[in-house]
């Protein structure tokens, strides 16, 4: 069985040019260094040093062994450095977000993370809130940004920001300025994201608490598709104001006038208690600094 002491002896003899210098470097005796080399040579039945020369000169097989010894010693030193460090080396980071975050401030967050951790590979995942939460619990994703609707003692929930939504429709569907009650609204077909969406859960629960049951609903898990369906006049939707402001200004969507307003959607960043690290605490800081659902770096403008 080879040992690191044998590899160190070969390495330092080759580096310093003599058995005596290697012994001084390794804080041992010359006979101990010679014994380590001899044991290595006997183990593989090869000559590492040409003993016919006065200086310690490697044989061809010795030069080959030195290359491998150098790599093994470097790997050992890296291993000791990393394991003894209080920080965890992060090479891959799986970040889950919903469509709204992906459309707005996610690019700025990714840039900041990569600026602090240049060697990291960020793997973004865009799915519904419930799918992301399930993946977090299964430990197939590291952190998620979703509406703060899942209460689980296994998770840490860090607050990010609020998203203001409003009821929208096509101008062709309703052009009245008369304020609508929730009962009036229930007469329209509602385009909803359903229980897989955190936003859908927030408003579904709130409407239920107000005793409102829509006459007809159409489930649509994609926010972009929901916006498109609303523009086409299929029904009314509760949409993030900032994300569709340009469509309102262009006359493609109309904001309904309501007698009462529904609550804002609170977003949070979640990760598992048992996966806490300094890296994740830093990501929380960056996310809280960059969280802005009104500006899209993708399009370089306020949306």
Q: What is the pLDDT of residue 302?
A: 41
DSSP helix, strand, coil percent of the chain (3-state; round to 5):
45, 20, 35
The answer, yes or no, to whether residue 290 has pLDDT greater than 70, is: yes
| Between 243 and 63, residue with greater pLDDT | 63
Q: Are 203 and 238 in contact (CB under 8 A)?
A: yes
Q: What is the mean pLDDT of residues 75-101?
A: 75
Q: What is the mean pLDDT of residues 82-97?
A: 71
Residues 247, 253: Cα–Cα separation, whole Å: 6
Instruction: Read off the CATH number of the domain in which 285 is found.
Output: 3.40.190.10
The answer, yes or no, to whether residue 295 has pLDDT greater than 50, is: yes
- pTM equals 0.64
Q: What is the mean pLDDT of the chain?
A: 84
Look at the chain and report how many structural domains it folds into.
3
Q: What is the pLDDT of residue 109?
A: 92
> Which pLDDT band holds residue 159 (cuts at 50, 70, 90)?
very high
Check whether residue 47 and residue 18 sit in a common domain: yes
> Which pLDDT band holds residue 97 (cuts at 50, 70, 90)?
very high
The answer, yes or no, to whether residue 158 has pLDDT greater than 90, is: yes
Q: Classify residue 303: in a domain, yes or no.
A: no
Q: What is the pLDDT of residue 298?
A: 42
Q: What is the pLDDT of residue 90?
A: 61
Q: Are 215 and 207 in contact (CB under 8 A)?
A: no
The answer, yes or no, to whether residue 188 has pLDDT greater than 90, is: no
Q: Does an H or E element contain 115, and which?
A: helix 106-116
Q: Using DSSP bridges, classify how beta strands 265-272 and 143-147 pair: parallel, antiparallel or unpaired.
A: antiparallel
Check whether residue 144 and residue 290 sit in a common domain: yes
pLDDT digits (tens, 9 = 90+) for 200-230: 777 777 777 777 777 788 888 788 888 889 9
Check whether residue 96 and residue 216 sit in a common domain: no
Whole domain around residue 176: which residue ranges?
165-263
Check whether residue 171 and residue 253 sit in a common domain: yes
The answer, yes or no, to whether residue 300 has pLDDT greater than 50, is: no
């Amino acid at each position: 069985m080879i040992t690191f002491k044998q590899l160190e002896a070969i390495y330092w003899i080759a580096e310093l040019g003599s058995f005596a210098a290697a012994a001084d470097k390794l804080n041992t005796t010359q006979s101990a260094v010679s014994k380590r080399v001899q044991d290595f040579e006997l183990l593989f039945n090869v000559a590492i040093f040409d003993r016919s020369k006065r200086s310690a000169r490697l044989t061809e097989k010795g030069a080959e062994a030195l290359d491998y010894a150098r790599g093994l010693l470097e790997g050992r030193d890296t291993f000791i450095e990393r394991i003894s460090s209080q920080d965890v080396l992060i090479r891959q980071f799986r970040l889950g977000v919903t469509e709204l975050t992906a459309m707005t401030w996610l690019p700025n967050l990714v840039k900041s993370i990569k600026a602090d951790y240049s060697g990291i590979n960020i793997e973004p995942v865009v799915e519904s809130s419930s799918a992301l939460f399930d993946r977090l619990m299964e430990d197939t994703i590291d952190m998620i940004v979703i509406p703060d609707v899942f209460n689980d003692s296994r998770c840490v929930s860090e607050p990010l920001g609020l998203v203001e939504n409003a009821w929208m429709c096509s101008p062709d569907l309703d052009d009245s300025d008369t304020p609508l009650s929730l009962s009036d609204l229930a007469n329209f077909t509602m385009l909803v994201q359903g229980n897989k969406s955190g936003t859908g859960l927030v408003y579904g629960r709130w409407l239920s608490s107000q005793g409102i049951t829509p006459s007809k609903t159409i489930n649509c898990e994609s926010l972009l598709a929901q916006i498109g369906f609303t523009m086409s006049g299929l029904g009314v939707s509760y949409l993030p104001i900032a994300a569709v402001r340009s469509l309102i200004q262009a006359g493609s969507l109309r904001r309904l006038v309501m007698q009462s307003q529904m609550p804002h959607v609170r977003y949070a960043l979640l990760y598992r208690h048992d996966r806490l690290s300094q890296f994740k605490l830093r990501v929380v800081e960056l996310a809280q600094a960059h969280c802005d659902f009104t500006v899209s770096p993708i399009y370089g403008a306020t949306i």
